Structure 1
Amino acid sequence: MRPGSAITVTASTSGMRGDPGCGCITLLKLRCLIGSKTSMDLAAKGIRINAVCPGPTETGMTTRFEGNRTMI
C-alpha cells in the first residue's frame, strides 16, 4: 500500500470483552484489537486503519437476551 492509504474494518467492542454464550463470535470480532495493533505498525508508513464498531442490533441472536436487556 502507498503512504496516505486507509484501511477500514468492521469490528466490535465484543472482541475486547466477550459476551456469554458467544465465544465464536467474540473470536471473529478480535479484528478490533488486531486493527489497533496493526495500525501502530503501519502508521510509520503513512497508512491508517479505522475500525467501525456499530452498536447492538436486535437480531435472532440477541433475542435470547430478551430477559436481561442490560446484556444487549
Structure 2
Amino acid sequence: MNTNPTAVSRTDQIERRLLGVPCDVWWSCQDAAYLAFSPQFPGLVCADAWSSLGAINRLENEIRRVLMTEPVPA
C-alpha cells in the first residue's frame, strides 16, 4: 500500500492533464453527427449522432487511451 500522501497515481496524472486539453465540438451536416476534436490531438476526431456531450465524452476517452500509452517519466 502506498503511504505517501503526495504520491499521485498514473490515472490521476492523466485526469489532471486532461483538464488542460482544449477541445471543441461542431455539427457536421455531411456526417449527420456532432464531431469533437482537440488541436493538441489532431489525429483524433470523435462523432456522436445524438449529442455534442457524447462526442466530447468519446474524445476524452480516446485521449485517455493515448495518454495511457505514453511512457511514464522517471
What TM-score does the superposition give when structure 2 sets the normalisation length? 0.31
Greater strand content:
2
Per chain length, whose mean CA-contact separation is higher, i.e. which structure has more relative contact order (CA < 8 Å, sep 6+)? 1
